[in-house]
Chain A
Amino acid sequence: MREIEASYITEKVKGLCMEANYDLPKDVLLAFQKAKEVEESSLGVSILEQLQRNAEIARNERVPICQDTGFGVVFIELGEDVRISGGSLKEAIAEGIRQGYGEGYLRKSICHPFTRKNTGDNTPPIIHIDLVQGEKLKIIVAPKGGGSENMSRVTMLKPSDGIEGIIDFIVNRVKESGGNPCPPIIVGVGIGGTFEYAALLAKKALLRYTGSSNADPELAGLEKDILNRINDLGIGPMGLGGRTTALAVHIEMYPCHIASLPLAVNINCHAGRHKEISL
């Protein structure tokens, strides 16, 4: 049995909150560069260039890429042979969010659903815990902005809708979202499972290296087809017209009930922020 101090976890989560918000991952920067090469709209190219400059300023000056520093979404892979000492795992994570958003000058964006009163410290976080074999603890912090989250949907298709139904729903979702979610977007798709599991799969799909393909050739092909259909919509950077509406489509799949075909589309803005650490 390995022991990990709760205060150590807090320290790491705090650091990840700041890094995720200041330092846009390389894969996203690479996707901006690729997008610039195919973008036909001069305004679109200019927007992509400004996004590159923005990321550079944020990284160099250690300021947030975007003012929406997001909901603190945290994925944990907890080894079965790990014991947390000196506190609880969930409280350690929440404290890390509290300190990271406070000391990192990040925006506090969490409020009561009815009164809209801000909780003041960006807690509570959303925590997803997976138990895995071994004695490691992996922490992924993925701050999620509200604008693109608002454009996301879960639907329960009929099995007869098939792959065509899945494609149509995803492409229509992106079309209806237009410029709202800050295109060029990253589209996370969850197919199968149950109502809530499809949504979780879609969120996990956003954690993948931007533009990587699913290991299953059929899903990899589907990702490519859907990306082409989305980019043929013409929405473009910021929705003002152009060839690059999405940087990537990532699909994750799981078996489903004989009666169901759950589908979730989780849209991420161009700021594909996530940082991880293995302890």
Chain B
Amino acid sequence: MVKPINISTPLSDQDVENLKIGDEVLINGVIYTGRDAAHKRLIDLINEGKELPFDISGQIIYFVGPTPPKPGQVIGSAGPTTSYRMDAYSPYLIAKGLKGMIGKGARSQEVVEAMKKYKCVYFAAIGGAGALLAKSIKKAEVIAYEDLGPEAVRRLEVESFPAIVAQDVYGNNLYVEGMKKYAR
């Protein structure tokens, strides 16, 4: 097994250009959460010409709606949700400087084009491994849309958060390549 690559946010163009599909990474630093309802609000802000609730430049958004933390926990279970539901929104955020997304399942051609044009990478985390992934989250704080409950935007501090490069800035797609390799 190849050793995982350590990466730290914020990410530069060069950081994401170095990543290829199949690479296993360990993510460190600050990442932001957002899923369906939060994405809709973020895009509404962009359309109205307003500021986003956090500086998105160089950042990673994790598509997740965690369970509530038990007493003593930083966050509840926190695995990825399916990404295609964010496809309609992601290109706007990528154009604003978003450098990475963490989710599960393949992305649309529109997202791929934006990822190539503005240099952004898509990571897959293990869906349904929410209890395990929560161990890599050291701090969590709601920074916007508290009324959305599990869908609120959170600022997370992560250490060695494991993910796999599923779609890279060159338009390569592990969902397609992986399937080809093992199909009979």
Which A residues lie at the B interface, using CB under 8 A?
A: 40-43, 46-47, 50-51, 53-54, 57-58, 61, 63-69, 105-109, 116, 118, 120, 146-147, 150, 178-182, 232-236, 238-243, 269-271
Contact = CB atoms under 8 A, between A and B. Distances in A.
B128 A241 contact: no
Interface string B52-76: 0000000000001111111001001
B132 A232 contact: no
Contacts of B126: 47, 50-51, 54, 238
A50 B127 contact: no
Contacts of A65: 77, 128, 130-131
A236 B179 contact: yes
B45 interface: no
B150 A179 contact: no
A269 B77 contact: no
Given A43-B164, A65-B130, A233-B183, A179 B104 contact: yes
B1 A46 contact: yes
Interface string B78-120: 1101101000000000000000000011100000000000000
A50 B150 contact: no
Interface of B: 1, 22, 24, 36-37, 64-70, 73, 76-79, 81-82, 84, 104-106, 124, 126-135, 148-151, 162, 164, 166, 174-175, 177-184
Contacts of A178: 105-106, 175, 179
A107 B68 contact: yes
A105 B70 contact: yes
28 contacts: A41-B181, A50-B162, A51-B129, A54-B128, A58-B131, A61-B131, A63-B131, A66-B79, A67-B65, A67-B76, A67-B79, A67-B130, A105-B69, A107-B68, A107-B150, A179-B124, A179-B127, A180-B82, A180-B84, A233-B183, A234-B178, A239-B105, A239-B124, A239-B178, A239-B179, A241-B177, A269-B127, A271-B128
Contacts, number: 168
Nearest to B174: A240
A30 to B, nearest CB: 17
Given A51-B128, A57-B132, A241-B181, A120 B77 contact: no
A41 B178 contact: yes
A40 B182 contact: yes
Contacts of A46: 1
Nearest to B73: A63
A181 B126 CA distance: 11
Contacts of A236: 178-179, 182
A118 B65 CA distance: 13
A31 to B, nearest CB: 14
A269 to B, nearest CB: 5
Contact of A234 (B22, B151, B179): B179
A269 B162 CA distance: 20
Contacts of B106: 178-180, 239
Contacts of B76: 63-64, 67, 105, 107
Contacts of B177: 241
B77 A66 contact: yes
B131 A64 contact: yes
A108 B150 CA distance: 7
Contacts of A241: 174, 177-182
A41 B178 CA distance: 9
Nearest to A269: B128
Given A47-B126, A51-B129, A238-B127, A67 B1 contact: no
Contacts of B82: 147, 150, 180-181
A43 B67 CA distance: 27
A61 B71 CA distance: 12
A236 B183 CA distance: 9
Contacts of A270: 128
A150 B83 CA distance: 12
A68 B164 contact: no
Nearest to B151: A118
A238 B175 CA distance: 9
B159 to A, nearest CB: 17
Question: Which has the most chain A C-beta neighbours within 10 Å: B68, B179, B181?
Answer: B179
Given A47-B126, A180-B105, A67 B179 contact: no
